[in-house]
Amino acid sequence: VAIDGAPPIVALGTVMGAFRGLVVDYLWIKVNMMKEKGLFFEVMSDADLITKLQPRFGEVWGFHGHNMAYNISVLTNTPEERWEWVQAGIDLVRNKGLRYNPNDVVLHKDLAFWFSHKIDGVADDAHLYYKREFAREWQYLLGVPPPNHKERVAWIKRIADAPETIEELYAKNPAARDLVEQITKDLSGFEQRFQFRLDDGFLKSYGQWEAIRESPYAKILGIEQQLRRTDAEAAGRVQNRLFQTFSRLFDDPARKDAIDDFLAFLRRKVLSERYNMDARLMWQYTRDTGPLDWRHPAAHALYWSKRGGDMASLRYSVEDNISKIVNNDRTFIQSMQALARAGIMSYDP
């Protein structure tokens, strides 16, 4: 398969078929030499080409993600820029690398370590910004979890048991079809970025609306009252119109069952498609290890290290690879320690 924009040596390697490995070796040596010279941005294009030529080469995914989350992020000037690079490194391994290499325990360990060290740790000057943004994203996606363990297990189980397709949702609850049609119609008059799609963007918009309604600070600061204004000055603001549309759609008690089933379905879908996470495993780990709060980065460190150990245990059963399992299990234990110390969260975005 030809790679768009690739230099001649890559095109040649593609044509040569079995000799593609030689091209990958050349590029791998080159990116390591550039890394030693501190040319972290220059590494990006060659590392990306290696992942395209050899997507089952797990080590380069880890190298590429680490380069973005650690090396490049600290070269930027603001916490916002740093967070973008940290997210990019995590997304690369979680959403692409592990889809090609689902049994690679080292990639699981790397990803778990980044959640534990880069976000939950304190080594990076911007760690408090990372923690806030991470908690905001996951609260918008999943909402605020119930306080006690039993309720939290039932809460995540509802998502795990949700229908996998929109057709299954409609078969389970026909009222959900009317809800989706009404959402689509009511949001059709907004600009493109607010159009209804079954994706994380819609969940985050819903989560923001829900957070404003539930926040005592939003009431004290008058944010909710301002967004509910319907006078001529406020009527033209997209934020006001969007908030009022969501209130009209989701404050209707007659639609509660349809709304709950729809949100559970969409959350499971987004977890799988956008974050490469299995809601059934999230439920199992919450049930077996404690009341996990998915707004906490250590919960994600636990998820990926546990998943890596479970999926890779047979592959790495030979004695020479035991160290990989041990390193992964160490990250799992460290995430449990972090949650034992500070796993109860209170957050208001």
100, 256, 262, 265, 292 from 162: Cα distances, Å: 26, 16, 9, 5, 19
Comparing CA positions, the residue from 129, 28, 55 lying closest to residue 85 is 129
What's at 201, amino acid-wise? G
Query: Looking at residues 320-327, what average pLDDT do you find?
Result: 82
Q: Are 87 and 263 in contact (CB under 8 A)?
A: no
- Which of 10-24, 150-164, 266-280, 329-343 is the least confident region? 10-24
pLDDT of residue 304: 98
Distance separating alpha carbons of residues 90 and 236, to the nearest angstrom: 38
| Alpha-carbon radius of gyration of the chain | 23
Residue 134 and residue 295: Cα distance in Å, rounded? Answer: 7
The torsion angle over the Cα atoms of residues 326, 328, 332 and 337, rounded to 10 degrees, is 70
User: Residue 167 pLDDT more than 90?
Assistant: yes
Digit-coded pLDDT (tens) for 46-82: 888 888 888 888 888 999 999 999 999 998 889 999 9
3-state secondary structure the chain: CCCCCCCHHHHHHHHCHHHHHHHHHHHHHHHHHHHHCCCHHHHHHHHHHHHHHCCCCHHHHHHHHHHHHHHHHHHCCCHHHHHHHHHHHHHHHHHHHHHHCCCCHHHHHHHHHHHHHHHCCCCCCCHHHHHHHHHHHHHHHHCCCCCCHHHHHHHHHHHHCCCCCHHHHHHHCCHHHHHHHHHHHHHCCCCHHHCCCCCHHHHHHHHHHHHHHHCHHHHHCCHHHHHCCCCHHHHCCHHHHHHHHHHHHHCCHHHHHHHHHHHHHHHHHHHHHHHCCCHHHHHHHHHHHCCCCCCCHHHHHHHHHHHHHHHHCCCCCCHHHHHHHHHHHHHHHHHHHHHHHHCCCCCCC
Spatial distance between the Cα atoms of 255 and 175, rounded to a whole number of angstroms: 8
CB 298 within 8 A of CB 87: no
> For all residues of the chain together, what is the average pLDDT?
89
Give the torsion through C-alpha atoms of 43, 44, 45, 47, to 10 deg.
Answer: 80
pTM exceeds 0.85 for this model: yes
Q: Which two tokens stand for residue 236?
A: 């033209």
| pLDDT value of position 36 | 81
Model confidence over 70-125: pLDDT tens digits?
999 998 889 999 999 999 999 999 999 999 999 899 999 999 999 999 999 999 99
* Phi-psi category of residue 129: left, alpha or beta, with phi > 0 → left and psi -120 to 50 → alpha: alpha
pLDDT at 137: 98
- Site of tokens 């208001």: 348
Using one digit for the tens of pLDDT, what is the confidence trace for 253-265? Answer: 999 999 999 999 9
The residue type found at 345 is M
